[in-house]
Amino acid sequence: MAGTGSLHDLMRHYDQHLARLEDLRALLHEQLAAATRLRDARAARRRTAAVEEALERMDRGCYGTCLRCGALIPFEQLRRRPQRRRCDGCTETGQGRHEAA
Ligand SMILES: [Zn+2]
């Protein structure tokens, strides 16, 4: 069923994808601002680094993919914590080290 219809679908998905990325980018910048207000300097540094890394992944076009299983992380999960590097499944079953939100 690959015809012009699917191309339109593709474009629409792409537009939606871009809109969501912009949404998440704004959230990341909010996180960055919030990190500077953290009283714990170490936590602030860690948070800042995580968010900057996420922004960098966004610029490279590899944002939103689970580092562990390679699956695309659902938008809703990213909205909850935009700097995340793993999907929910991998965060839960992941190695002992649990990155707190
Ligand atoms: Zn995963």
State the Rg of the chain over Cα.
16
Q: What integer pLDDT is reported at residue 5 of this predicted model?
A: 81
Helix or strand holding residue 60 (H, E): helix 41-60
Distance 25 CA to ligand 1 centre (A): 21
Domain formed by 4-93, architecture: Up-down Bundle (1.20)
Q: What integer pLDDT is reported at residue 3 of this predicted model?
A: 59
Model confidence pTM above 0.75: yes
Q: What integer pLDDT is reported at residue 88 of this predicted model?
A: 93
Taking a 5 Å cut-off on Cβ, the residues next to ion ligand 1 are 66, 68-69, 87, 90
Q: Point out the residues of the chain with pLDDT beneath 50.
A: 94, 96-101
Distance 36 CA to ligand 1 centre (A): 29
Distance 24 CA to ligand 1 centre (A): 19
Distance 64 CA to ligand 1 centre (A): 10
- Tell me the C-alpha distance between 21 and 44, whole Å: 24
